[in-house]
Amino acid sequence: MEQMNKIVVETPSFTGKVLVFASLHTCVIILSGSVESHVVPQLRDKVRAATSGSKHDYVVDMDEVTYISSNGLGFLMYLAKNRRDFVLLSKPGPAVLKPLDLLGIQHLFRYYQSMEDLEKQPGVPAEVLSPLWMEKKVLAASLHQKQWVKILKDHLAAKELTREIQGMSSYLEAADRQDSIVLPADEKYASVLYKFLDRAFGQAAEHGGNTVDAPTIEIIARELMANAVKHGYGFKSGGKVEVGFSLDRSALEITFTDHGRGYSPDSPDDDTLPPAGLEMLRGFFDILDIGHAPQKLADGLVLGKGTTVRMVKRLEPGAGRPAGARPSWWRRLRERFRGRSAR
């Protein structure tokens, strides 16, 4: 029997299983739950250590993924950069397809529809199929056994949710009525930001813009807030973010400002995860500009020059984004993959 090395990364909302078949140069990764930003570095480091940093083929089962962060997409990009021949993804659901589409990186991967389809894929060793199937069954049984906990948590969470909503009531009211609001730099407030953006896009649709679906608005809200919390304030408490929108006959403009350390363009190398969050935003908006926050007396924690993200979505049909909108490192990355599309 083929020797296999197994690693597990687990949190209350996520399970990642890594099966490495060193002699076959193949790594099977099974992901389940919410692929949040904070679990990705650990997952990436475990995969890199288990594969000894060498090139492998990757089979990634994402059947049970309910959400994937930009860091999660960065992890998939990491696999694509370090693949031996291919990265095979199980047929992604909407939670994964939407951000893949916004990034425009679908061509970097191959896809399979089922275990039977995987068996027919060229280059996939037969020896990995049985362990993958067994781990999927174990994971499914685990999820089934934990269902009673989920039911209990849903009831307990109702009381906690009521308290949270009451605590956010002033922000929720502002999101419903105002064209600019100030929110705590805390990832749970992405929920209020979603409500605010949903109203902005709704008004844009009434003026002739395209309807924006809920998953897209969720991605925008989560990524903007996560970027401010992580990169702006370095997870320090007391920070604030300011968000506003304006609308005319031609475009919807949204601004998002924090007063953290200030924006510094990343230049990722082979060992870092690409900043996919900004690229997802660039994939949706026609214009995305990033600069320092306006100089003024700011509310809350101030760590540096701050960052303002300006996003414009044109309303007129057929309007495109200006040439050269992607940052130079992203163009280099895409050039690097040119001719290396999934085989």
CATH number, residue 303: 3.30.565.10
Please enumerate in sequence order all residues whose Cβ is within 8 A of that of 161, keeping only pairs 6 or more positions apart, or say none: none
Q: Cα(286)–Cα(147) distance, rounded to whole angstroms?
A: 43
57 in the same domain as 122: yes
The mean-pLDDT minimum among 51-60, 254-263, 270-279, 326-335 falls in: 326-335
Query: Containing domain of residue 68, as a range?
Result: 5-145
CA dist 223 and 215 (Å) reads 12
Dihedrals phi, psi of 116, to nearest 5 degrees: -65, -40
Q: Which helix (H) or strand (E) holds 314?
A: strand 307-314
Q: Is residue 126 domain-shared with residue 66, that is, in the same domain?
A: yes
* Domain limit, last residue, from 145, 165, 199: 145
The pTM of this model reads 0.70
DSSP 211: P
Return d(Cα 342, Cα 112) in angstroms, integer: 12
Helix, strand, coil shares, percent, the chain, to 5:
45, 25, 30
Residue 235 near residue 262, CB atoms below 8 Å: no
pLDDT band at 33 (very low <50, low <70, confident <90, very high): confident
In contact, 75 and 100? CB cutoff 8 Å: no
Q: How many C-beta neighbours within 10 Å does residue 155 have?
A: 8
Question: Strands 14-21 and 26-35, how do they pair?
Answer: antiparallel
DSSP, collapsed to helix, strand or coil, labels residue 26 as: strand
Asked whether the predicted pLDDT for residue 271 surpasses 70, the reply is no
332: amino acid identity, one letter: R
Q: Kindly give the pairing relationship between strand 14-21 and strand 5-11.
A: antiparallel
Look at residue 319 in the predicted model and tell me its pLDDT.
Answer: 46
Q: Are residues 124 and 237 in the same domain?
A: no
Task: Give the burial string for 14-39 (b: 16+ CB within 10 Å, else e).
Answer: bbbbbbbbbebebbbbbbbbbbbbeb
Query: In a 10 Å sphere around its CB, with 0-12 CB exposed, 13-18 middle and 19+ buried, how is residue 114 labelled?
Result: exposed
What is the C-alpha end-to-end distance of the chain, expressed in Å?
Answer: 28
Q: Look at residues 96, 123, 145 and tell me which one is the last residue of a structural domain.
A: 145
The C-alpha atoms of residue 342 and residue 225 are separated, in whole angstroms, by 33
Kindly indicate the confidence band of residue 317, based on its pLDDT and cuts at 50, 70 and 90.
Answer: low
Indicate if the pLDDT at residue 110 is higher than 60.
yes
Residues 15, 17, 22: CA angle, nearest 5 degrees = 165
Half-sphere exposure for 55 (CA within 13 Å, toward CB): 7
- Name the residue with tokens 């807030």: 225
Amino acid code (one letter) for 261: R
Count of C-beta atoms within a 10 Å radius of residue 143: 14
At residue 282, the pLDDT reads 86
Tell whether 182 and 316 lie within a shared domain. Answer: yes
Quick one: average pLDDT of 97-103?
Answer: 83
Residue 203 scores a pLDDT above 90 = yes
**Which amino acid is residue 29, in one-letter code?**
I
Contacts of 139 (CB under 8 A, 6+ apart): 15, 17, 30, 32, 64
Model pLDDT, residue 153: 59
Residue 269's contacts (CB-CB under 8 Å, 6 or more residues apart) are none
Q: Is the pLDDT of residue 157 over 80?
A: no
pLDDT confidence bin for 34, thresholds 50/70/90 = confident
The CATH number assigned to the domain holding 111 equals 3.30.750.24
What letter represents residue 291's amino acid? Answer: G
Asked if 129 and 197 sit in the same domain, the reply is no
In a domain, 160, yes or no: no
How many structural domains comprise the chain?
Answer: 2
In a domain? residue 309: yes
Residue with tokens 């701050």: 306
Predicted confidence at residue 263, as pLDDT, reads 76
Same domain, 138 and 190: no
pLDDT at 341: 54
Helices (H) and strands (E) in the chain, counts: 11, 11
How much is the mean pLDDT over the chain? 84
Contact 145, 135 (CB under 8 A): no
Q: Are residues 35 and 78 in the same domain?
A: yes
